[in-house]
């Protein structure tokens, strides 16, 4: 296997840009052909790589702003209803009846054209734009790919918490994608977006003061998904007792309700609803140290061998193959364990392992990754409106920050391949924006030596630039990495 692997030259450069970045564009293939691995390592070693540079509202600010917005909307509706009732009382009941129906149904109120979108949507658009811009402007994009990977691993859904979905990625994921896994884990599980998404804000210790007074108790959702999805992995040896105990540990991890003027939407540990007492998780006793009790459990989960194996498997699957080489998974898990979960070291092991450079391209790009590649290759990211990019991703089954379940979007070919027919229509649409760029030059930029003679001929024979570019980004060499 090792003998077949090339790690320098244009082939390797093009392979690296597709497998570890968002696909080649411009003169990138030539630029890194001398040392593709070195270019990937340099991407990881950039100071502050991954750290957000945009100035957008924090998740707390966004949650409070959205609460205010909704309160105002509600007040407006109430005033409208009140006006209807007053006119009814004044004997104008005939018209009043229908007006009341309208006023009570927000969907029936027509929106004036060219109005800015409502605030929650605008917040989401701004966050999406920041994400798209970061990916489009990244040199290679390995770190952005890692951001997308970890954001999907620790996913929340904008369907449940639209105000925070983007801010969550900036606050909990980005600062840690090249840091320690334990820090990433604690940042994700303690983020108000996650606490709300997985219902921990509802969970109370049955024996806590709050629980007793309100006759409420545990919600296990966050504890279970942390074990099953975020750390150890399913069927890795934990029991229902572990889940229950861990859920008790996590009680009190909550937020200030968004209605709170000063700190609404921010994390708070509330001892009032925290289950008192020691808890045993995976055979270890954790004394009740308040919020530190949960941090201690998470720190131990981060260092558990099953976690190393689970993360290694997912990373290798994401970057290399649906069924990744076991030797690669072992290497990644070993680095994970030996480096105290240093994710930069793990990423470096990934890009320096021969198994990750196999010339066979076994992964079908996910829709979101593919769309970003097309936008980068054609230089059209800035020209396509953000809502349209989001719509395109949704049409292809991968709406931004709206995974169907807490396990995030699937990372295997079977999940996406049936959408290839739809991709063609999207390719056709995006290719319509290319203008007078030379399709064969784009082919050299986007695929270089990866392009087969068949693909090159198909593009050269296309009846228009638009068709040529659509065929280019739909070629097997472009879809697969």
- In the complex, the residues that contact other proteins under the rule CB under 8 A are 383, 388, 391, 394-397, 399, 404-405, 415, 417-418, 420-422, 424-425, 427-429, 432-436, 438-439, 452, 454-455, 458, 461-468, 470-471, 474-476, 479-480
Say how many residues make up the chain: 481
CB-nearer residue toward other proteins: 129 or 465: 465
CB-nearer residue toward other proteins: 292 or 454: 454
480 three-state secondary structure:
strand
List the one residue out of 121, 135, 88, 82 whose CA is nearest residue 104: 82
CB-nearer residue toward other proteins: 199 or 429: 429
CB-nearer residue toward other proteins: 38 or 387: 387
List the one residue out of 131, 25, 15 whose CA is nearest residue 380: 25
List the one residue out of 12, 18, 17, 6 whose CA is nearest residue 476: 18
User: Smallest distance from the beta carbon of 458 to other proteins, in angstroms?
Assistant: 5
User: Smallest distance from the beta carbon of 152 to other proteins, in angstroms?
Assistant: 15
User: Smallest distance from the beta carbon of 435 to other proteins, in angstroms?
Assistant: 5
List the one residue out of 253, 260, 250 whose CA is nearest residue 301: 250
Report angle CA 235, 204, 230 to the nearest 5 degrees. 30
CB burial readout 401-423, b (16+ within 10 A) else e: bbbeebbbbbbebebbeebeeeb
For 246, how many CA atoms within 13 A lie in the half-sphere containing its CB?
28
CA distance to 63, 120, 192, 459, per residue, from 262 (Å): 11, 19, 15, 59
CB-nearer residue toward other proteins: 174 or 465: 465
How many CB atoms sit inside 10 A of residue 240's CB? 9
Q: What DSSP letter does each residue of 278-329 carry, written as one string?
A: -EEETTEEE---THHHHHHHHHHHHT-HHHHHHHHHHHHHHHT-SS--HHHH
Give the integer Cα–Cα distance in Å for 126 and 123.
5
User: Smallest distance from the beta carbon of 367 to other proteins, in angstroms?
Assistant: 10
CB-nearer residue toward other proteins: 8 or 428: 428
User: Smallest distance from the beta carbon of 392 to other proteins, in angstroms?
Assistant: 8
User: Smallest distance from the beta carbon of 399 to other proteins, in angstroms?
Assistant: 6
- Which positions ≥6 away from 1 have C-beta within 8 Å? 325, 354, 355, 358
User: Smallest distance from the beta carbon of 330 to other proteins, in angstroms?
Assistant: 29
User: Smallest distance from the beta carbon of 460 to other proteins, in angstroms?
Assistant: 8
For 219, how many CA atoms within 13 A lie in the half-sphere containing its CB?
17
User: Smallest distance from the beta carbon of 209 to other proteins, in angstroms?
Assistant: 41
CB-nearer residue toward other proteins: 210 or 397: 397
CB-nearer residue toward other proteins: 89 or 417: 417
CB-nearer residue toward other proteins: 275 or 369: 369
């Amino acid at each position: 296997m090792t003998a077949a692997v090339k790690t320098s030259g244009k082939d390797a450069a093009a392979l690296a840009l597709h497998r570890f970045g968002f696909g080649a564009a411009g003169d990138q293939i030539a630029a890194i052909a001398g040392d593709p691995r070195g270019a990937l390592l340099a991407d990881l070693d950039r100071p502050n790589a991954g750290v957000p540079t945009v100035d957008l509202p924090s998740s707390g600010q966004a949650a409070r702003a959205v609460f205010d917005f909704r309160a105002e909307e509600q007040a407006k509706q109430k005033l409208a209803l009140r006006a209807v009732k007053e006119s009814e009382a004044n004997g104008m009941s005939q018209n009043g009846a229908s007006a009341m129906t309208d006023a009570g149904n927000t969907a029936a109120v027509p929106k004036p054209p060219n109005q800015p979108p409502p605030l929650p949507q605008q917040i989401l658009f701004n966050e999406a734009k920041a994400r798209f811009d970061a990916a489009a402007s990244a040199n290679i994009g390995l770190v952005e790919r890692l951001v997308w990977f970890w954001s999907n691993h620790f996913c929340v859904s904008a369907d449940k918490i639209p105000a925070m979905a983007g801010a969550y990625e900036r606050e909990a994921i980005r600062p840690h994608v090249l840091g320690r896994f334990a820090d990433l884990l604690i940042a994700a599980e303690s983020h108000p977006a996650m606490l709300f998404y997985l219902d921990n804000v509802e969970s109370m210790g049955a024996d806590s003061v709050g629980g007793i007074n309100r006759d409420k108790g545990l919600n296990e959702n966050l504890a279970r998904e942390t074990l099953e999805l975020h750390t150890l992995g399913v069927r890795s040896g934990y029991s229902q007792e572990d889940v229950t105990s861990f859920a008790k540990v996590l009680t009190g991890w909550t937020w200030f309700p968004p209605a709170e003027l000063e700190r609404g939407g921010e994390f708070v540990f509330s001892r009032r609803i925290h289950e008192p007492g020691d808890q045993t998780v995976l055979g270890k006793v954790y004394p009740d140290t308040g919020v530190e009790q949960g941090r201690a459990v998470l720190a131990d989960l981060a260092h558990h061998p099953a976690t190393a194996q689970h993360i290694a498997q997912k990373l290798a699957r994401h970057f290399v193959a649906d069924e990744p080489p076991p030797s690669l998974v072992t290497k990644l898990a070993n680095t994970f364990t030996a480096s105290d979960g240093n994710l930069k070291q793990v990423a470096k092991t990934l890009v320096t392992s021969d198994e990750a450079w196999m010339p066979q391209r076994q992964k079908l790009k996910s829709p979101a990754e593919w769309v970003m590649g097309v936008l980068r290759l054609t230089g059209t990211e800035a020209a396509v409106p953000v809502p349209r990019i989001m719509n395109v991703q949704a049409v292809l089954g991968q709406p931004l920050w709206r995974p169907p379940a807490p396990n995030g979007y699937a990372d295997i070919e079977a999940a996406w391949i049936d959408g290839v027919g739809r991709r063609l229509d999207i390719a056709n649409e995006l290719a319509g924006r290319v203008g007078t760029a030379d399709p064969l030059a784009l082919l050299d930029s986007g695929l270089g030596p990866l392009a087969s003679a068949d693909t090159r001929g198909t593009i050269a024979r296309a009846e228009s630039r638009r068709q040529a570019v659509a065929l280019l980004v739909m070629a097997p060499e472009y879809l697969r990495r």
